[in-house]
Amino acid sequence: MGKTLAQKVWDAHVVRRTAGEPDLLYIDMHLLHEVNTPQAFDGLRATGRTVRRPDLTIGTEDHNTPTVSVDKEITDPAAREQVSLMRKNCAEFGIELFQLGAQHQGIVHVIGPELGLAHPGSTIVCCDSHTATQGAFGALAFGIGTSQVEHVLATQTLPMTRMKNMSVTVNGSLPDGVTAKDLILAIIAEVGTAGGQGHIIEYRGQAIRELSMEGRMTVCNMSVEAGSRAGMIAPDEKTFAYLRGRPGAPSEADWDAEVAYWRTLYTDDDAVFDKEVVIDASTLTPFVSWGTTPAQSAPLGSPVPHPESFLDEVEQTAVKRAQEYMGVTAGQPVRGLPVDVVFVGSCTNSRIEDLREVARVLDGRTVAPGVELMIVPGSMKVRQQAIDEGLDRIFDAAGAGLRFAGCSMCAALNEDRLRPGQRAASTNNRNFEGRQGKGSRTHIVSPAVAAATAVAGHLAAPADLS
């Protein structure tokens, strides 16, 4: 029997396999940020261990970093302490760290691919669930907990129980105006927040192949919101073109040999998936979340659903609670809901392609009165590229400045957060209760819908603007 892409990558990294025990996997790249890592370093000190492969470990500051100014002290004591510990630990254990304001500083899931560290067929871990982003390159990338961080730091390996395999095939092409963000929201709405639980999802089909690398990263990023640990897309010519010449990519001398191996990383025709889902791309339209999970999403043109339309009583109760929290009523149109804040950023949608799409919608237009538009690039390199392309001038003219790199309001661990009761259209990946601030109401949208919403003052698509 043939193997899936995930099985090929997994099997290539098994260091030890013993009946009745988890497989011991070799880890090719370990990424760190300032949250959830101090305890791991304390564990190393307590046992007298060093970092096994500091050359395969890279850190960045992203969750707690300010985005309005990078030349002032971090004001929040807890955030300041986490950043301080990150700097101390990386210096002590010989780990390269991109500090606030540095050329390559930014969101960990943005700078990894940007630096060319996400190689097809590799294993990548980080103390953050959205490490799945880098599965867009055909890597097996997933988040790990604090004790697992310590294990990887000490041994460059990780005990892992083998996961099942799930395929999501998207046939046909996405219609004009429908983006990767709309696609993954539609997938999650279809399978639910637990649909991929215990599985590695492989995204396949024409619509997936037609996505840019940035679009593929958006899709894999939100695999976690479907309950999966990891999402993967088989590498192809787009993958190779994106990686070539980046700092962490193979050298020209090794390039051809690496690409020859990367071309073998696909699911065999006779491989069997444990679960299969098929989506017709031609039926999709811009999506938006109306509730408090990404699965509670619907086409922008549809109304908020009635709880009775869900068969399961538990789900009916969850829908009623979500609608009460979000301040929406069943049957109410989603399009037209007024917003206070629009946030463009996060590891889901803060790359240069996303900022270009926002600029395209904003060009010649201004942000609606009473609406705050926050544009936060995923890395300092993305920020500089946006400036080089003149996107910052379009943002300024529209009434929104270009901030510095960081997780910002997606995680709301710095000063960027909503006030209780404020409603936001946001390009991040999660809309849980209080995710963007206590009492915050978040509608997940694509960058294009976010920009149009900022102009209209209410949830809208670019096609709605006159």
Condensed to tens digits (0 to 9), the pLDDT of residues 50-88 reads 999 999 999 999 999 999 988 777 888 989 999 999 999
Q: What is the CA radius of gyration of the chain?
A: 21
Residues 74 and 222 in one domain: no
pLDDT, averaged across the chain = 97
198: in domain: yes
Q: What gap in Å lies between CA 73 and CA 95, rounded to an integer?
A: 23
| Beta pairing class for 287-289 and 297-299 | antiparallel
Give the residues across from 267 on adjacent strands: none
Q: What gap in Å lies between CA 110 and CA 389, rounded to an integer?
A: 19
pLDDT in tens, 356-385: 999 999 999 999 999 999 999 999 999 999
pLDDT in tens, 424-459: 999 999 999 999 999 999 999 999 999 999 999 999
252: in domain: no
402: in domain: yes
Kindly report the CA angle at 273 between 271 and 278, in degrees rounded to 5?
A: 115
Overall size of the chain counted in residues: 466
Residues 313 and 381 in one domain: yes
The C-alpha torsion from 56 through 58 and 63 to 67, rounded to 10°, is: -150
CB 51, CB 93: distance < 8 Å: yes
Residues 195 and 315 in one domain: no
230: in domain: yes
Q: What gap in Å lies between CA 232 and CA 135, rounded to an integer?
A: 4
CB 177, CB 448: distance < 8 Å: yes
Residue 418: predicted pLDDT: 97
Residues 47 and 59 in one domain: yes
Q: Is 434 left (phi over 0), alpha (psi -120 to 50) or beta?
A: left
Threshold 0.95, pTM exceeds: yes
pLDDT in tens, 397-409: 999 989 999 999 9
User: Last residue of a domain, which of 130, 160, 190?
Assistant: 160
215: in domain: yes
Residues 331 and 230 in one domain: no
Residues 218 and 155 in one domain: no
Q: What gap in Å lies between CA 255 and CA 247, rounded to an integer?
A: 13
Q: Which two tokens stand for residue 186?
A: 């539609």
Q: What gap in Å lies between CA 337 and CA 295, rounded to an integer?
A: 19
E strand intervals along 325-382: 341-344, 372-375
Judged against a pLDDT cut of 80, whether residue 466 lies above it is answered with: no
Residues 319 and 399 in one domain: yes
81: in domain: yes
Residues 329 and 358 in one domain: yes
CATH code at 172?
3.40.1060.10
H helix and E strand count, the chain: 15, 18
Mean pLDDT over 389-416 rounds to: 96
Residues 110 and 199 in one domain: no
Nearest to 429 by CA among 185, 107, 186, 208: 185
Place of tokens 């070539």: 244
Nearest to 119 by CA among 210, 223, 247: 247
Query: Which residues, other chains included, contact 284 with Cβ-Cβ below 8 Å and sequence gap of 6+?
Result: 174, 175, 178, 182, 183, 186, 299
Residue 71: predicted pLDDT: 77
Q: What gap in Å lies between CA 381 and CA 366, rounded to an integer?
A: 26
Residues 90 and 187 in one domain: no
Mean pLDDT over 185-202 rounds to: 97
249: in domain: no
What are residue 297's phi and psi, to 5 degrees?
A: -130, 160
Which of the 8 DSSP states describes residue 439? Answer: T
E strand intervals along 340-428: 341-344, 372-375, 423-426
Nearest to 70 by CA among 386, 356, 408, 342: 408
255: in domain: no
The C-alpha torsion from 277 through 351 and 113 to 204, rounded to 10°, is: 20
CATH code at 352?
3.30.499.10
pLDDT in tens, 198-230: 999 999 999 999 999 999 999 999 999 999 999
Give the residues across from 29 on adjacent strands: 124
Residues 197 and 110 in one domain: no
Nearest to 153 by CA among 236, 262, 41, 66: 41
pLDDT in tens, 246-262: 999 999 999 999 999 99
User: Last residue of a domain, which of 111, 143, 160?
Assistant: 160
Residue 117: predicted pLDDT: 98
pLDDT in tens, 81-126: 999 999 999 999 999 999 998 999 999 999 999 999 999 999 999 9
Which range marks the domain in which residue 140 is found? 5-160
Residue 425 CA: distances (Å) to CA of 70, 226, 444: 25, 20, 6
Q: Is 29 left (phi over 0), alpha (psi -120 to 50) or beta?
A: beta
DSSP-assigned states of every residue in 78-139: HHHHHHHHHHHHHHHHT-EEE-TT-TT-B-HHHHHHHTT---TT-EEEESSGGGGGGGGGT-
Residues 298 and 434 in one domain: yes
How many domains are contained in the chain?
3
Nearest to 376 by CA among 109, 113, 83, 68: 68
User: Last residue of a domain, which of 283, 316, 348?
Assistant: 283
**Residue 324 pLDDT level (bands cut at 50, 70, 90):** very high
Give the residues across from 32 on adjacent strands: 59
Q: What gap in Å lies between CA 175 and CA 283, rounded to an integer?
A: 8
Q: What gap in Å lies between CA 295 and CA 55, rounded to an integer?
A: 39
